[in-house]
Amino acid sequence: MAPLFKGLERIEEARERVTGHSFMAGLFVGKPDFSLLLTPEEPPEQKAAWEQYRPQLETFLTTHVDPDEIERTAKIPDSVLKGLFALGAFGMKIPTEYGGLGFSYTNYGRALMLMASWSNILALTVAVPQSIGIAMPLLLFGNEEQKRRYLPIVAREAISAFALTESITGSDAANIATEAVLDSSGAAFVVNGAKLWCTNGSIARYVTLIARVPAKRAQNSGQSLWVPVPDGKGAEDSVHTAFVLDMTQPGVRVRQRCQFEGCRGIENAYMTFTDVRIPAADVIGEVGRGLKYALTILNVGRAISIPAICLGMAKQAWQPTLDRANQRLTFQKPLSERQTQRMRLGRMAENLYAMEALAFSVWRLAGQHTYDVRIEAAIAKICCSERTIQLLKDAQILFGGMGYETADSKGLRGEPAFGVEQLVRDAEMYRIGEGATDILRPFVAREGLNMHLERARNYLDERVTGLRRLTELGQLARFYLPWYGRQWLRNPLPARPEFQRPHVRPTLAFVERASRRLARAIFYAMLFHRQALQDDQGRQNRIEIVGEDLLVIAATALHAERQERIDGHPEGWDLAEEVFREAAQRIDHNIRELIFNSDEPVTAVGKRALSGTYPSLSDGIIQRGLQDYLVGRESALRTEKESQRKAI
């Protein structure tokens, strides 16, 4: 099949097909299975584990961690890291038999949310080893010897990291260039290359390294697999493979600790590898499946870590913002009496509630270990990161000048040293990390189109013509005519008491109707635009946005029902109904624009701008292009080392 999503061909090759239950996979084809969202109640032992651990973690944070010092010095003290290891915070998801705490995904999310409400930098540092460091790859794909050798170490004493990105490849992970060649003895791989933006890289003992291995195809028990070739001789391809890399090996050099707009305390490395030897026993899983493994473990960060950290940051800003609105007087009235600010706070409350409902729903789904949550994970990451940025910017606007001034500067004259400007700077990283929004939206859209792509594979192939094309069209008609008819028929809600409650039933009935409407609109888009969809990110984005809104509506309705039924708090319905109202408007707009929209004119202007059609837009300034900002590499590294020395 001609690739429908240009630039994602190698990632498409590595993509696992949806095999487990997926709420979103059903929603995109007009058959959402709402019963999937009603996961079993949390086991009592996990509830007890969190209630026992929470006060320990909270006490440690409030008595031993100074988030303002981390921001000032851009460094997390070693004593803090050692204290967290002693608490088991670096091994929350590692089973107890390997030295970890054995937390559920929900408890892990709770812990990161709590930590991020005090210091999101600290939460990120703790999350990386457990989401994408060596712990998760080994738990999912490693052998027993590797688990027993490494997991107790990373649970209690050694930080780990994930090395995938390179200077010329970010979200385009399939095009990495770092190579690991099996040596002539077959005992070790020799690695050469470089990795960029490796979070925790400058303090990590171990790294999950994704590198290319020269290999050839072989057969084993009827299965085709990749076998590495000594010295790269006779290789048929260079295939992605995952390794455990010991950072103490000769040839590993951390060249730079990268600095960013925000997240000043993170240890993010640019590192190079020169003839670094990795024992063959430290290959994770199978040769050639490294990209599949990378995409799989990134799901954990998207489903749990990023939503939890974003939620913690948003909750951190909530009460100070309410206090500011009630206490700040303008023209003899508090801000809280102004309609503009009440509307802003209403949006903030709605976004915070939607994020929490979605995050906990996805955590529970992921924790079942039986569902395919890649779509839900991507949506949770997109939704929580984007809404956190909006919430924090709304908070900053409400604070006015105090929201633009740093915490230290305000504290010097006795003002409350709440650093909303730092939160705004830090939050942008969570939109970018572990799959940027503009990459994940087409990814979700591709999954939403999956049924059509698989069924219409030959028809969409531009090489198929003539009689064969007519034959394919006939076969498709036999399937799609009854399928399309069913998209106009209501699917009853499952016979569960939760779905029959007065607020829940009409809300989920709307989601079900909108799901069928979306399925029809996707079908129309495929029918009318065919191969033009391959570069039409406007339509791809709309597919994701509608799916995201429908999932959020369902999650918030069930979250409100759960809060009322279990906790006796009916006030959540105010928030859930506002989430529903605003999302419903977006859904209607975006479904209509899946077929007809005005994307083309502005796209054409952008294309002309790229070709230099509007030179006057740079008039009146000292003009500089990107290359004019190049500085000597050695000079830049000296400047970086000097800044690090001063920070220490």
> What percent of the chain is predicted at pLDDT more than 70?
94
pLDDT of 645: 59
Query: pLDDT value at position 465?
Result: 79
Q: Residue 379: what pLDDT?
A: 97
* pLDDT, tens only, 573-622: 999 999 999 999 999 999 999 989 999 999 999 999 999 999 999 999 99
What CA–CA distance (Å, rounded) separates 247 from 204?
7
Q: Which residues pair with residue 333 across a beta bridge?
A: 330
Q: Which amino acid is at 647?
A: A
What is the pLDDT at residue 19? 59
Weakest-pLDDT range from 115-129, 458-472, 507-521, 602-616:
458-472
The arithmetic mean of pLDDT across residues 393-411, rounded, is 96
Average pLDDT, the chain: 91
- Catalytic status, residue 405: no
Question: 531 or 273: whose pLDDT is higher?
Answer: 273
510 alpha-carbon distance from chain centroid:
28
Q: Point out which residues pair with 54 in neighbouring strands.
A: none
Lowest mean pLDDT among 124-138, 157-171, 341-355: 157-171
Q: Picking from 89-98, 278-287, 458-467, 532-541, which range would have the lowest pLDDT averaged per residue?
A: 458-467
pLDDT tens-digit readout, 471-506: 888 888 999 999 999 999 999 999 899 998 999 999
Task: Report, as an integer, the average pLDDT of 525-553.
Answer: 89
Rounded to whole angstroms, the Cα distance separating 243 from 4 reads 32
Nearest residue to 537 via CA among 438, 625, 618, 615:
438
Question: pLDDT of 311-327, one tens digit each?
Answer: 999 999 999 999 999 99
Predicted TM-score (pTM) of the model is: 0.92
* Maximum distance among all Cα pairs of the chain, rounded to whole angstroms: 82
* CA–CA dist 63, 87 (Å, integer): 14
The number of helix segments (H) and strand segments (E) in the chain equals 25, 11
Kindly report the three-state secondary structure assignment for every residue of 332-366. CEEHHHCHHHHHHHHHHHHHHHHHHHHHHHHHHHH
Reply yes or no on whether the pLDDT at 304 is more than 80.
yes
- 466 pLDDT more than 50: yes
Residue 405: the pLDDT is 95
Cα–Cα distances in angstroms (integers) from residue 611 to residues 358, 434, 608, 614, 621, in the given order: 42, 31, 5, 9, 20
Span 409-420, mean pLDDT? 95
Tell me the HSE value of 434 on the side-chain side, using a 13 A CA sphere: 30
Other C-beta atoms lying within 10 Å of the C-beta of residue 280: 15
Task: Note the pLDDT of residue 284.
Answer: 97
pLDDT band at 639 (very low <50, low <70, confident <90, very high): low
Give the containing element (helix H, strand E) for 380: helix 374-399
pLDDT, one tens digit per residue, over 133-156 is: 999 999 999 999 999 999 999 999
Task: Retrieve residue 647's tokens.
Answer: 């920070």
Residue linked to tokens 């385009």: 172
**Which pLDDT band, with edges at 50, 70 and 90, does 2 fall under?**
very low
pLDDT at 14 over 50: no
**Choice among 356, 434, 548, 582 that is catalytic:** 434
